[in-house]
Structure formats: C-alpha cells, structure tokens
Structure 1
Amino acid sequence: MKAGIALIPENRIQEGIFSGLSVGQNLAAATLDRRKLAGFIRKKAERTDIQRSIDQLSVRLSSPTQPIDSLSGGNMQKVVVGKWLLFKPRVVVAIEPTQGVDVGTKQQMYGLFRELAAEGITVIIFTSDLLELIGLCDRVLVMNRGFLTGNLRGDQLNEEMIMTAAVSRQALHEAGAYRD
C-alpha cells in the first residue's frame, strides 16, 4: 500500500474482503490511516467516503453496516474495488476482475478501469477472457510457460493474434522457451 499499488485479487472471498465485518468496515479498511487525526478516526469523513463509494459503484445493500458476507458475488467484488478506489492508488493490479459477476457489473467495472486509466492511473489486468482483453486494454502481453510470447498493441489486439502468441511453437521458440 505504501507504494501506491492496489490489488484486486482473483479470489475475492479469501483474499479481497474481511469476512465477518460490515460492508462499511471493508470499504474503509484501506484508508484507515488517512482518516486519523491525532490518533482518532474521523468518523464523519469515513461515513462520507463509504457512502460515496457505495453510490459510485451502485452496491446493492440495505445499509453500510450490513455484513459483507451477505452480499452477492458481484456486489462483493464492487466493495473490493471500491475499497481501493478510496485509497487512490497509482497502480491497480486486477486479477480476473470480472470473473463470476453479471453482465451489468462487468460493464460497470470496464467503465471504471477506463476512468482510472484516463486519470493517469496504471491499470494492469490479468484475465483469461480474450474479449475483455481486446475491449479494455491498450496493450496485451501474452505469456506461455513463463515466457513472454507476445507484445500486442493497436491492430494486433484481436483473438487470432493473442491465441497465436499464446500457443504457437514459433512464439515459444523466439522467446527461448522451446527448443527443437
């Protein structure tokens, strides 16, 4: 966190939330130090931040005091993302960020990642969804067996080029991962 890097993990339940705590407590977790004044937490600022995040991401819940564990997977993912938006990171690393969420939430996440990039925040997305890569990324790095086998931009960002870089013997050979 000190380096300004936010991680949106693949497994939101085991790595992205604090199970047993409320939605509000989860949202506030990453920015706790920023709201302290003389050792005390400024509760009004915390409530304002929490509500802004809930509104911005359209999290469906009865109240910020609702247990995080009672939310749907999509709303839980919104809270994980919202926690880091309040943190105002310089870099966001998202691993399979839209896996298991509904189409509406996916579109909302895509818009959010685009907004972050437009604000100058570096967004790194690890995903196995080719359409997500093509529609969201300016640049795609393809790896196979731990080797970089493709560095694609612009017109190269299409399913055929990504798959070719991912599985071709030539790409592996050029990367030094394959020997005849």
Structure 2
Amino acid sequence: MIENSNLASIIIFYLLAITIIVSAIGVAVSKNVMLACLSLLATLLGIAGAFIFLAADFMALVQILIYGGTVVTVIVFAIILTNLKDFSNLKSTKQAPFAVAACIVALACLITGILNSPISETALKLNYISLTFLGRYLFTDWAIPFELASLVLLIALIGTVLMVKANKETDK
C-alpha cells in the first residue's frame, strides 16, 4: 500500500507531467501565435514546478525568471512588432515526415542518454550550493557586472523601441 505522502507526490508529479505535455502540444498545434506563446509560458512554468518538486529551487528560479519571464516577453514583443496574427499562411510541406522522423530519433537519443547516465546521490550532494549563498555572492562580489548587464539590456530595449518607431514613421 502506498503511503499518503508518496501518493501525494505521485499525484503532483503526474499533474505536472500532464500540464507540461498538454501545454507543449498546445505550442506545436496552435494556429494563433499568442495562444502558442501562452502555451509556451504554461510549459515553462510546469517545468519550473517540476524543478521545485525535485528540490532544485535555483533551477526553478532560473526557469521562471529567464525562460518564463524574459524569453516569453521577447516573443510577445516580436509578435506585437511584426503584427503576426496566426499561422494560416503557412502550408503543409513534404518535409513533415522527415521532421517527425528526426524528432523520433532525437527522442530516442535523449531517452538512451538519460537511461545510461551514471548519476549518484553523493555526487549531487557534493556540488550543492545554497540559494542564499548564491544570492549574497551575486549581489556583493558580482553586483557591478550584474548592474552592467541590466544596463545593457535596458539600452537594447530602448534601441529596439526607437528603431521600431523610426520604421513606423518612414512607413507612413
């Protein structure tokens, strides 16, 4: 008989897995670009949930901040700037069987690599760094490079807005 805590863990794991798979399929099959982007966000948040479930808090934080926040925001900006509404102008090609075959081969290689990887629990414990230590280190010793990186990103964002504004004015 399964204990209640193990049963809860199994249920949470399967809910996360179903969320990740369904939202990833939504990314692939959605004709609406914005819905595909929201499905991507749901997929990335599900993966962050899986990291939390596996007690990899830092990886979950990186997943949410970098992928869930930054990448999805850039994709939304690209959608807005290109005025792309849907994928209706894309037609099916003769390359679909080759793409499916390539995906199956890549999945088989991934599964083989995962099943044959020698990961021991002691190796995982030796490389453990607390999130508190990493945060202190980032905002003390690496505070200036961190702020410079944010300044570079801000300059890139301002430059992008100015370029788009200039292109819209020349189009009129």
Q: Work out whether the TM-score is over 0.5.
A: no
TM-score, normalised by the number of residues in structure 2: 0.28
Relative contact order, CA 8 A, sep 6+: which one is greater?
A: 1
**Greater helix share, structure number:** 2
TM-score, normalised by the number of residues in structure 1: 0.27
**Greater strand share, structure number:** 1
